[in-house]
A = this chain, B = another copy of it.
Amino acid sequence: MENYKVKRLIVNYKTLEEFKKFKQYGLQELSMLEDLQSNIIENDSESPFYGIYFGDKLVARMSLYKVDKQFDRYFEPQHEFLELWKLEVLPNYCNKGYGTALVNFAKSFKLPIKTNPRVQSHGFWERMGFETVTYDVQRDRGENPLVWLPEGVKLKED
C-alpha cells in the first residue's frame, strides 16, 4: 500500500468547494462556509477535518474531534477519546487504501475511537479492528456505534 500523506484541512474557499463532492455534505460544511463568508472564522483556519490529496484534488476525508474524559460513556476506565465521522473516499478513488490510511492516522493518537458509520460499511470497520458496543437507547438512540480500543482500555460494562 502506498504511504499516503494525511493533512489537517484548513478552511478556505477551495477546501469548501472540494467538500461539495462528498456525499455527507451537511450542516457542518454549510456552517463553515457561512462562518468564513461573515468573517467569524479566518481564511486558512484549522478545521476538524483531515484529508488526503491526489495532486491538488481532495479525494478522501474524515472529521476527528477529541472528546473530554468527563463525557465518555463507552470506555473503562473512563477515557478521553476521538470521535470520528464523515470518513468518505470519492467514488473513483475507492479500494486504494485511502480510507485505511485515514483510520490508521486516527489510531496513531493511541486514544479510543468512536464512530457511527452507515450500516453498509461494517465490513470495513471490522477489518480495521473496530467492534460493536452493546446498544443502549438512552446513550445511542439512532446510532450504530463502533469503537476501537487501544491497549489498556476496555468497553464499559452496563
> A116 contacts which chain B residues (CB < 8 A)?
142
Interface size class of A (residues with CB under 8 A): 20 to 34
Complex contact B86–A27 (CB within 8 A): no
| Complex CA distance for A48 and B48, rounded to whole angstroms | 33
Q: How far is the CB of A47 from chain B (nearest CB, A)?
A: 9
> A85 contacts which chain B residues (CB < 8 A)?
141-142
| Complex CA distance for A134 and B143, rounded to whole angstroms | 21
Q: How far is the CB of A135 from chain B (nearest CB, A)?
A: 4
Report which A residues bind B (CB closer than 8 A): 24-28, 30-31, 48, 63, 65, 83, 85-86, 116, 119, 132, 134-135, 137-138, 140-145
